[in-house]
Structure 1
Amino acid sequence: MKPINILYFSDVLCVWAYVAQIRLNELKMTFKDDIKIEHHFVPVFGVAIENLENRWRDKGGLEAYNHHVQEIAQRFNHITIHPDIWTKVKPVSSTSCHLFLHGIQLLEIKGIIENVFEKAIWAFREAFFTQLANISDRKVQFQIAEELKIPIGFIQAQIDSGEAYAQLSKDFNLVKEHTVTVSPTLIFNEGRQRLNGNVGYRVIEANINELLHISPTEENWC
Structure 2
Amino acid sequence: MEPIRISYYSDVLCVWAYIAQIRLDELAANFPDQVAIDYHFVSIFGNAHEKLETRWRDKGGLRGYSNHVHEVAKKFDHITVHPDIWAIATPSSSMSSHLFLHAIQLLEIKGIIPKSERIFEKAVRAFREAFFTQLADISDRKVQFAIAKELGLKRKVIQAQIDSGEAYALLSKDFDLVKEHTVNVSPTLIFNEGRQRLNGNVGYRVIDANIRELLHNPADEQSWC
TM-score, with structure 2 as normaliser: 0.96
Query: Structure 2: how far apart are the matches of 1:92 and 1:215?
Result: 47
CA-CA distance at 1:220 after TM superposition: 7.2
Query: Structure 2: how far apart are the matches of 1:217 and 1:63?
Result: 52
CA-CA distance at 1:221 after TM superposition: 7.3
SS of match in other structure, 1:5:
strand
1:38 matched residue in structure 2: 38
1:62 matched residue in structure 2: 62
Cα 1:219–1:155 shift into 2, 3 Å: farther
CA deviations on 1:43-86 (whole Å, 9 max, x unpaired) are: 00000010111111111111110000001110000000000000
SS of match in other structure, 1:38:
strand
2:95 matched residue in structure 1: 95
CA-CA distance at 1:215 after TM superposition: 2.1
1:1-222 aligned at under 5 Å gives the runs 1-114=1-114, 115-219=118-222
SS of match in other structure, 2:39:
strand
Query: Structure 2: how far apart are the matches of 1:79 and 1:88?
Result: 20
SS of match in other structure, 2:201:
coil
Query: Structure 2: how far apart are the matches of 1:215 and 1:196?
Result: 25
Query: Structure 2: how far apart are the matches of 1:149 and 1:5?
Result: 29
SS of match in other structure, 1:149:
coil
SS of match in other structure, 2:76:
coil
Paired residue total: 222
Cα 1:214–1:85 shift into 2, 3 Å: same
CA-CA distance at 1:216 after TM superposition: 4.2
Q: Which runs of 5+ in 1 are unaligned?
A: none
Cα 1:216–1:116 shift into 2, 3 Å: closer
Query: Structure 1: how far apart are the matches of 2:220 and 2:16?
Result: 37
CA-CA distance at 1:203 after TM superposition: 0.5
Query: Structure 2: how far apart are the matches of 1:120 and 1:10?
Result: 14
Cα 1:217–1:180 shift into 2, 3 Å: closer
Cα 1:214–1:138 shift into 2, 3 Å: same
TM-score, with structure 1 as normaliser: 0.98
Q: Which runs of 5+ in 2 are unaligned?
A: none
Amino acid at match of 1:200: G
Alignment RMSD: 1.1
Give the share of equivalent positions with the same residue, in percent.
71
Query: Structure 1: how far apart are the matches of 2:167 and 2:83?
Result: 33
Amino acid at match of 2:182: T
